Structure 1
Amino acid sequence: MRNLPDLPFLIYSASFARQCHALLSKQPPDFVYQRYSLLNSSGAEVASRLGCPFVLEYNGSEVWIARNWSTPLFFEGLADRIEQANLRRADLIVVVSKALRDEVVARGLPPERVLVNPNAVDPLRYHPGIDGEPVRRRLGLEGRLVIGFIGTFGPWHGAEVLAQAVRPVTAQLPDAHFLFIGSGSGMPSVQAIIAGDSVGARVTFAGMVPQEEAPAYLAACDILVSPHVGNPDGTPFFGSPTKLFEYMAMGKGIVASDLDQIGEVLSHGKTAWLVRPGDPTDLAAGIIALARDPDLRRALGEAARDEVVAKHTWTAHVGRILQKMVELELLDMRALVLPGAA
C-alpha cells in the first residue's frame, strides 16, 4: 500500500458499491446522491445497477486539489478518467459555485444538467441567541474584543493572512484578542507568524472543538473573519465556504475576502466588510473599522442573519435540488413533498 498510496480509495469504492447494492436492491431508492470523492465511482455504479437517477455533488476536481494543495496523485490519469466518468454518468450535477459550473460545462457537460447550489447553514443551530460567555470565561477572554476564525487551516483559508494582521490590529486596539478555532496543515505557519511578530499574548488557539460546540465558540466572538485567498494557479476560486453561512447565521459583524462567491453572497457595507484577498493590511483595516463601530457591527450582523435565513438554509438547499430534479423529469412532482411544505 505504501508504494500504491491511491489503491485503498479504489478498493473502498468497489466494496462500498457492493454493500450499498445489497442493502438497496430489494427496495430501490428514488435516486442516489453522492458527494464526489477521490477515485470513487460507487454512486454511479449503484444507480446504474438499480436503474434510478444519479445525482452527483461536485465540489472541485480532486486531481486539481492534489496537484495544487497537496501531493500529485500516483494514479492521476486514472483519477481524472474516473472523475470525468462520474460527471458524464450523472443525471444531475450539483455544484456549489458558478466557477465550478463553468468548469463542468467546459468539460463538455450540458449546462441544463448542472445546478449551482451554494452551501448553507442550519439557522436553528447557529443563531444570535447562543450564549458565548461560558467559552469566554473558560478561555480567559472576559472584557476583550474577540476576533474569531474557525476552520481546518487549509491553504485556501487564508489563516496565515489573518495571522499577519494580528500585530497591526493589536497595535491600535488595546482590548483586541484573536481566537483561532480548529487546526490543520497551515497551523505551524500561523503559529510561526504569531511567534515571529511577538503577539502570542494577544492570540488564543482553541484547537479542534466538537462540531456541536462550534456555535458557542462563534458566539464568544465580536467579529468573525473569513480571510480566504485565491487559487495558486490563478483560476477562479471555486469554493463555497460553509463558515461564511455559519458566520452570517450568528448575526455577528463579518470581515471577509471579496473573492468570487464570497463577494457575491456578501455585500460590502450591507452584510459584511469586504477586503482585498491575501492583503493583511486591508484585512487589518477592515477589522479595525468594525471594532471601532459597534453600531455598524450590529447592523451588518442583523442584515447578514436576515439574508442567510431567507436564502441559504439547508432546507432551501435541498428544495432547490428536488425542484431541479422535477424540472429534469428525474422525480415525479405528484409524489414530491418539498422541505418546509405543510
Structure 2
Amino acid sequence: MKVLVVQDTDWLARGPHQQHHLMERLALKGHEIHVIDYELLWRVQGTKELYSKRQVFHNTSQIYQGAEITLIRPGIIKLPWLDYLSLLFTHKKEIDRQIKEFPPDIIVGLGILSTYLAVRAAKRSAIPFIYYWIDVLHRLVPSRVFQPVARVLESIALKQADVILVINEELKNCVANIGAPPQRTFILRAGIDTERFSPKVNGSAVRREYGLKDDDIILLFMGWLYHFSGLKEVVKQMARTNDTRLKLLVVGEGDAYEELTQMKHRYNLQGRVILTGKKPYHEIPAFIAASDICLLPAYTTEKIMRDIVPIKMYEYMAMAKPVIATRLPGVMKEFGDGNGIIYVARPEDVPEKAIQLVAEGNLSELGAKARSFVERNSWDNITNEFERTIREAIQEKQK
C-alpha cells in the first residue's frame, strides 16, 4: 500500500512519536510511505533565509534501521505568522502533487492546517482519509486568539474523515465533543517495543558517566521540556530537601531548558540536577535503566496535558520503573490504580513521595506491575491493528 502522511510539525527534529513507530514499521513490512511535514523549529534551527525551498529526504528513519520513508518538506516564508499562511499554499500544492504523482491509497492526517487541506483533497479524489489523534492539537496553538479557529478546522476534518483514531479514552471523549462521529471513532493505543525497552537493559554506564552513586535515588524525566512540565517545581522542592541522595536526571531539550539550567546554579544543585540535552533514541533505554523512579509531573491545570497519555509513560513502564505522575485525567483513566503509577496532587510533591517510596522498599514490586500492564501493547500488535484499519478503510471506499 501507498500511505501519505501529513503533519504540521517537524518529522526529523521532534519525536519519535507514535506516528514514527507506525510508519517505520509499515515501511519495514513493504509499504511505501511518504510524509509531508513542516519545519516547526525554523526560528532556532536550520538555515537563516527568508524563504525555504522544497526539500525531499529519502530513506529517513528515526527508530528502525532499514525503514525507508520519503519525507517532503514544502517551502515556507520564514517570518512569524507568514510561515503558517504560506504553509496553506505550499502544503496544498504538495498534497495535490502527491495525489497526482505518488499516488496514495490512503492519507493519514496528524495536524490541523495540513490535515484540513488533506481531507478536502482526499474527498475530491475519493481517497480514504484517517485522522489520527495523539494530542488535543488546538490547545497547542501558541496564540489563544487562534485556538478557536484551529478547533473549527479540526471539527471540519473530523466530520469528513473516514476513520478517526485516538490513543486513549479521554481523547475519544474529546473528539466526540468537537464533532467526531462515534461510529467512525476508534481507539488505537500507544505501543511499546518490549525488547528495546526491557528491564534487562543495563544503566550502569550512564550512572558512571554522570557521577551517580549506587545509593543515589535517581528521578528521571525525558522528553520535550515545556514550562508546564512541572520540572521547575520539582527542582525548587529538591533544594529544600535535605536528602542529598535525591538526583534529577533530565533527558531532552525544549522551552524550559535554559531556565532549568539557571535554577540548577541558583539553588546550588549542580551535582543533583543533571540536564543531558537531547539524546539519540537508541540511547534512551539506558537512561531509563539508570533511574530508580520516572516522572510525569505536569501541571494538572494545563489543558494540553489533561486528555493525553504521553508515549514516555509506556516506555518508563516497559522498563519496570515505577512512575510518579500528577493526577492527569487521561493518565489516570488509562492506567488506573495498582499498575505501578503513584499519583501526587502537585509537582512539588514529587521529591517527598520519591523518598517515601524508597523508604518503603517496594520499587521493584511497583515496577513489575508497570511492566505487566504495558506488555500487551507491543508495537507488533498495534502496527498489525493499524494496518488492518487501513485495509478496511480502503476496501470500504472502493464499495
TM-score (norm. length: structure 2):
0.71
TM alignment of 1:311-326, pairs within 5 A: 312-321=377-386
What whole-Å deviation, never above 9, does each CA across 1:31-55 have from its counterpart, x for those lacking one? 3222224444354245335423211
State the match for 1:108 in structure 2: 179
Distance 2:115 2:234 in 1: 35
Does residue 9 (structure 1) correspond to residue 78 (structure 2)? The answer is no
TM alignment of 1:173-322, pairs within 5 A: 174-232=244-302, 237-276=306-345, 278-280=346-348, 282-294=349-361, 296-310=362-376, 312-321=377-386
State the match for 1:124 in structure 2: 195
What whole-Å deviation, never above 9, does each CA across 1:8-59 have from its counterpart, x for those lacking one? 321342133123213433xx52x32222244443542453354232111123
Distance 2:232 2:209 in 1: 25
Q: Deviation at 1:180?
A: 0.8
Q: Deviation at 1:190?
A: 2.5
What whole-Å deviation, never above 9, does each CA across 1:100-145 have from its counterpart, x for those lacking one? 3223222233212112333232112211111111212222224233
- Give the 3-state SS of the residue equivalent to 1:56 in structure 2: strand
- Give the 3-state SS of the residue equivalent to 1:178 in structure 2: strand
Q: Deviation at 1:331?
A: 5.4
Task: After superposing the two structures, state which structure 1 stretch, 154-163 or 129-138, moved more.
Answer: 154-163
CA contact (8 A) 1:146 1:179 kept: yes
> Taking structure 1 as reference, are residues 164 and 117 closer, same or farther at Cα in structure 2, changes over 3 Å only?
farther
Distance 2:247 2:325 in 1: 18
Distance 1:148 1:77 in 2: 35
Distance 1:12 1:317 in 2: 33
Distance 1:246 1:331 in 2: 32
Q: Deviation at 1:236?
A: 7.6
- Give the 3-state SS of the residue equivalent to 2:198 in structure 1: coil
> Taking structure 1 as reference, are residues 314 and 9 closer, same or farther at Cα in structure 2, changes over 3 Å only?
farther
What whole-Å deviation, never above 9, does each CA across 1:56-94 have from its counterpart, x for those lacking one? 11234543322xxx3347x76764443332212101111
CA contact (8 A) 1:167 1:197 kept: yes
Counterpart residue type for residue 300 of structure 1: L
> Taking structure 1 as reference, are residues 119 and 155 closer, same or farther at Cα in structure 2, changes over 3 Å only?
farther
1:21 to 99, 110, 114: 99
Distance 1:117 1:260 in 2: 18
> Taking structure 1 as reference, are residues 60 and 251 closer, same or farther at Cα in structure 2, changes over 3 Å only?
closer
Q: Which runs of 5+ in 2 are unaligned?
A: 1-76
Distance 1:76 1:228 in 2: 21
CA RMSD of aligned residues (A): 2.8
Distance 1:61 1:179 in 2: 28
Q: Deviation at 1:206?
A: 0.7
Q: Which runs of 5+ in 1 are unaligned?
A: 334-342
CA contact (8 A) 1:54 1:90 kept: yes
State the match for 2:61 in structure 1: none
Aligned residues: 317
> Taking structure 1 as reference, are residues 60 and 145 closer, same or farther at Cα in structure 2, changes over 3 Å only?
closer
Q: Deviation at 1:159?
A: 2.0
Does residue 165 (structure 1) correspond to residue 237 (structure 2)? The answer is yes
Counterpart residue type for residue 160 of structure 2: R
